[in-house]
């Protein structure tokens, strides 16, 4: 009997075999995907690392604010901020060197703007369009600034995990 594997399948098979041997049993999931939980916001959900706490505010009936922070201390600076509503200020202030692109996150369309400052820190704003039949909110805006490469990876993984949730 002969088996045929794609390159992706073969690489996955090799990694799934070698990682537990190199790191000890059960370490594969920890290395590839840190512990995460599902956070449900206003008509959307996100996959958020356990190391972050999500703080919310609802200043008015037609929008909510979300702050993804590293601890429960109110003074902690947000790694990522989000707005759910129909009237986001987008793009707002951006660098002249920013790059803009339309992207797809799961089944959702989004506009993404990203740039890097002279110190090598990253900035990003993403406007995600929720399904029109949801009514309010129609949009979720994410933004971060002054993040290192590792922090950027965490913030981007949260943004890219967005899924619509119908009431």
- 95: containing domain: 34-164
Number of domains in the chain: 2
Same domain, 48 and 128: yes
In the sheet that 139-147 helps form, which strands lie side by side, from edge to edge?
53-60, 63-69, 78-85, 139-147, 122-129, 108-116, 99-105
Q: What is the structure's pLDDT at 119?
A: 92
Quick one: which H or E segment has residue 7? helix 7-23
Same domain, 4 and 86: no
Q: Are residues 71 and 141 in the same domain?
A: yes
Q: What is the pLDDT of residue 128?
A: 98
Per-residue pLDDT of the chain (167 residues; tens, 9 = 90+): 333 334 343 334 333 333 333 334 433 333 445 699 999 999 999 999 999 999 999 998 899 999 999 876 666 789 999 999 999 999 999 999 999 999 999 999 999 999 999 999 999 999 999 999 998 999 999 999 999 989 999 999 999 999 999 87
98 shares its domain with 133: yes
- pTM score over 0.75: yes
CA distance 112 to 142: 9
Whether residue 44 is found in the same domain as residue 89: yes
Please list the residues that pair with 81 across neighbouring strands.
67, 143
pLDDT for position 154: 96
- Shared-domain flag, residues 107 and 42: yes
Report residue 153 as tokens.
């990876």
């Amino acid at each position: 009997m002969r088996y045929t594997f794609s390159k992706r399948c073969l690489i996955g098979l090799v990694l799934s075999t070698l990682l537990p041997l190199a790191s000890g049993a059960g370490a594969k999931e920890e290395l590839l995907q840190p512990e995460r939980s599902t956070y449900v916001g206003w008509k959307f959900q996100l996959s958020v690392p356990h190391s972050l706490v999500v703080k919310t505010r609802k200043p008015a009936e037609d929008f909510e604010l979300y702050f993804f922070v590293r601890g429960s201390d109110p003074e902690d600076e947000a790694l990522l901020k989000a707005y759910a509503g129909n009237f986001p200020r987008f793009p707002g202030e951006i660098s002249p060197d920013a790059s803009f692109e339309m992207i797809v996150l799961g089944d959702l369309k989004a506009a993404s703007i990203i740039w890097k400052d002279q110190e090598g820190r990253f900035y990003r704003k993403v406007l995600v369009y929720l399904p029109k039949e949801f009514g309010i909110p129609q949009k979720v805006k994410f933004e971060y600034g002054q993040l290192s490469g590792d922090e950027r990876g965490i913030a981007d993984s949260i943004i890219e995990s967005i899924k619509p949730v119908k009431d």
